[in-house]
Amino acid sequence: MTPLAQLLEAALFASGMPIGLDALLALDLEATPDLVLAALAELRARYDDGEHGIEVVEAAGGWQILTRPEYTAAIERAQIASRPHRLSAAALETLALIAYRQPITRADIEEIRGVSAGSILKSLLERGLVDVVGKAEALGRPLLYGTTPTFLEHFALRHLGELPRADELAVALRPATAAPVPVSAP
Amino acid sequence: MTPLAQLLEAALFASGMPIGLDALLALDLEATPDLVLAALAELRARYDDGEHGIEVVEAAGGWQILTRPEYTAAIERAQIASRPHRLSAAALETLALIAYRQPITRADIEEIRGVSAGSILKSLLERGLVDVVGKAEALGRPLLYGTTPTFLEHFALRHLGELPRADELAVALRPATAAPVPVSAP
Amino acid sequence: MATHLADVADSRDGRERASPRPPNDAPPASFVVELAHFSGPLDLLLTLLREEQIDIYDIPIARIAEQFLLRIRTLRLDEAAEYLEMAARLLRIKAQMLLPRREGAEAWDDPRAELVRRLLEYQQVREVVDVLEFRAEGRRNRFARTPLPAPARPSSSGPVSAAMADLLAAVDRLLRACRGPDVHSIVPRALDVAGALIAARALLARRAQIRWRDLVRPSAEPWEILSVLLAVLELARLGECVLRQSIPFGAVDIVGLDAGLGTLDETTDSVTPAMSSLDSPTRYDTAGAAA
């Protein structure tokens, strides 16, 4: 391929989103629209030789490299493209509460966090990180939540005793707020 | 290219992160490790024919496609993608210690670097370069820190064994216990 | 194998000039340090030794201590505890060096030994940093594919990524958000249904019919009112009383039946219409009733 086509390949790859002609022109000061379009055609032809799993696609006023549709199912099955979903801060706080105070009712979680916990609990249940472990003796016999073996596995814990105690966290995680400490000379 | 190499191309393209052999095997139920490795070699050879702007790189126990270094400046100038910030010297020192001495407590890090490590550890944790990997048996059961796959990817390491061994460093480090120090004649 | 610091450090000096260290991720606490381009007192000390071309195994402590103090003053690092601590350590070693040695003693505990050990250890860290920096620079010059923006509604069944550190940080946030440091001390004001049941039973034992206001004092707090309401409904469910209301929004009469007839497995059919609308599919706590 021509050097310009190689540059376009690298640029289209690096960007997840379609790139317009203007941005492509900014890649090479000597490039003209005709040259860029020719290089794009060259790149497209290269991927369309029947030997590639990706292709150049025109979309949203620009160009983009995408996987060929016939490979989508396999990639999704292997959970390669579905990047691991980071748990939200709210979900982590709820999970932390359940881990440290289980068994715990939804009301207690909401009391401590100060916000409703319904949708977060639902999501944690769906992910198998927490489960209903019983019913409280309190009025209405509210459900009690606890963590699951999946939770332990996820955080590489052999058992819950491996979680740091709450009073150890202050030292472990909080940056020393007072550092550096100005020391007055005697 | 073989259909498996095409599938791997699509999968590596779809994932921004390195993919390990296990995940690659999950792509095709009939694939074996040998077949996958052969297909990876095929794909790598294809990109290394001197006509491509991207290449297959081994990192963090897996494979990923990256742009070739010669196109970085142009891509950054065109504001299509930007390089990550460099880590500070303090952050690198802390990472170096964790990489070589893991699992290591915060107190040990501070002992060796001579400065408090709280805020730097917090920042490294947030970037996902290190993680809590357990608790020490010592008094107060302090948290132990270790490096993550993100660390390997950040430093283009296939595994920790690619770092020079401690005894290969120019300054040979003695064990932490008191070592005899040569005393020059006064 | 006397290591001369100057040899080891020369390459580092070149690299340092070539790639200045921007304090891009330096939090406020280490800001001063980052500005001065020293990552700590050991870094500064090594720089001094290198400038003076001093053998790390034979440090002229008096001279180095003096220069160290001078340098932290000019760099305005003399408010950072870590630098002051090192300065104090150097002065202490200097004092120890001045103590008279016993004549003819074979073994001499060099007061500098610990410092030398730490410097060597730190030097090795710096060496690894060079390796890491070289590696990181190579990686920085290659782009991985930028991930496509996440779908608007992420599925809740996909793989989850959360580090232990994330979980612990969440615990830390919770602990800080709570009023006290002890999570366990936070107890919501519970309803006292059991107490209200006892009070209602006691009154029903003495009078065949009571009224709502007999059970709830005028200045009752919401939790007390709720407790009584639930207790009365519970009594009705157990068949210990019947609730009557002659006109809409009128006074509610609580008519006692023979206490003790109700059993736990009675269905809610026996409950008067007044309560059926309030009944919930879950059962109320009957522990209080049994007491």
The interface predicted TM-score (ipTM) is 0.71
CA C222 to chain centre: 35
Domain spans, chain A: 3-77, 89-168
The reply to whether B3-77 and B89-168 are identical in fold is yes
Pairing of strands A54-59, B19-20: unpaired
- Are C164 and A13 within 8 A, CB to CB? no
**What is the pLDDT averaged over residues A92-115?**
87
Handedness of CA A44, A50, A53, A58 (dihedral sign): positive
Tokens of A134: 């019983």
| Beta-strand runs (E) in C146-187 | 160-161
Contact assignment for B179 to C21 by CB distance below 8 Å: no
Cβ distance of B163 and C128 shorter than 8 Å: yes
Are A84 and B19 in contact, with CB atoms under 8 Å apart?
no
Compute the nearest-CA separation of A121 from chain C (Å): 11
List chain B residues with CB under 8 Å of A172.
106, 132, 142-143
Pick from B167, B151, B63, B58: nearest CA to B102: B151
Which residues numbered 127-186 in A keep a CB inside 8 Å of some CB on C?
Answer: 127, 129, 137-141, 154-156, 164, 166, 169-170, 172-177, 179-183
Q: What is the DSSP letter of B139?
A: T
Q: What is the pLDDT of residue B171?
A: 59
The answer to whether A79 contacts B23, with C-beta atoms less than 8 Å apart, is yes
Evaluated on CA atoms C86, C90, C91, C93, the torsion sign reads positive
* Residue numbers in B near A52 (CB within 8 A): 1, 6, 9
A93 vs C187, more confident: A93
Question: Could you identify the residue written with the tokens 């920790």?
Answer: B160
Query: For residue B143, which residues of chain C lie inside 8 Å, CB to CB?
Result: 168
Q: Which chains touch B (3 or more CB pairs under 8 A)?
A: A, C
Angle at C163 between CA C159 and CA C166, to 5 degrees: 115
Task: Give mean pLDDT, residues A143-161.
Answer: 84
- Cα–Cα distances (Å) from C66 to B66, C41, C116, C169, in that order, read 51, 14, 18, 43
Q: Per-residue pLDDT for B6 more than 90?
A: yes
pLDDT the model gives residue C160 = 67
Tell which residue, C178, C47, B91, C251, has the closest CA to residue A109.
C178
Residues 6 or more apart whose CB falls under 8 angstroms from that of B62 comprise: B17, B18, B19, B20, B21, B23, B24
pLDDT tens readout for residues C113-164: 889 988 988 888 888 888 888 888 888 888 888 765 544 444 555 566 677 7
pTM for the model stands at 0.63
What pLDDT band is residue B33 in, cutting at 50, 70 and 90?
very high
Q: Each residue of C264-286: pLDDT tens digit?
A: 333 333 334 344 334 433 333 43
- Chain C contact for A87 (CB, 8 A cutoff): yes
Chain A residue whose CA is closest to B74: A27
At residue B147, φ and ψ (nearest 5 deg) are: -85, 165
C122 to B114: CB separation less than 8 angstroms, yes or no: yes
High-pLDDT (> 70) share of chain C, %: 64
Which of A33-42, B83-92, C168-177 tops mean pLDDT? Answer: A33-42
A vs C, Cβ pairs < 8 A, gives 142
Report chain C's mean pLDDT, rounded to a whole number: 70
Q: Which residue has the higher pLDDT, B181 or A34?
A: A34
The yes-or-no verdict on residue C102 having pLDDT over 80 is no
Distance, first Cα to last Cα, chain A? 73
Quote the tokens at residue B75.
């891509």
Residues of chain B positioned with their CB less than 8 A from the CB of C144: 16-17, 64-66
Topology annotation, domain A3-77: Arc Repressor Mutant, subunit A (1.10.10)
CA distance C140 to chain B (A): 6
Instruction: Spell out which residues of chain B touch residue A171, defining contact as CB-CB under 8 Å.
Output: 106, 140, 142
Interface test with A, best of C35, C91, C172 (most A CBs within 10 A): C172
Q: Chain A, 86-125: which have a CB under 8 Å from a chain B CB?
A: none
User: What's the farthest any 2 CA atoms get from each other in chain C?
Assistant: 113
The class level of CATH for A89-168 reads: mainly alpha
Lowest mean pLDDT segment, chosen from A151-155, B150-154, C44-48, C276-280: C276-280
- Distant-in-sequence, close-in-space partners of A39: CB < 8 Å, separation ≥ 6: A1, A2, A4, A5, A7, A8, A31
Give the span between the Cα atoms of C9 and C54, in whole angstroms: 11
B173 or B10, which is more confident? Answer: B10
- The distance of Cα C160 from the centroid of its chain, to the nearest Å, equals 22
Paired tokens of B107:
């107190």
- With residues binned 3-state (H G I as helix, E B as strand, rest as coil), the percentages for chain C, rounded to 5, are 55, 5, 40
Q: Is the peptide bond before B103 cis (omega within 30 degrees of 0)?
A: yes
Contact A181 C81 (CB under 8 A): yes
pLDDT of residue A52: 93
Q: What are phi and psi of B162, to 5 degrees?
A: -80, -15
- pLDDT tops 90 at residue A82: no
C145's CB contacts (< 8 A; 6+ apart) are: A13, A14, A16, B13, B15, B16, B65
Q: Which residue has the tokens 């000597």?
A: A30
Beta bridge partners of A85: C160
- pLDDT band of residue C261 (cuts 50, 70, 90) is very low
Residue C221 has pLDDT above 70, yes or no: yes
Handedness of CA C142, C145, C150, C154 (dihedral sign): negative
C256-290 residues labelled b (16+ CB within 10 A) or e (exposed):
bbeeeebeeeeeeeebeeebeeeeeeeebbbebbe
Q: Is A154 helix (H, G, I), strand (E, B) or coil?
A: helix
The DSSP H or E segment spanning A142 is none
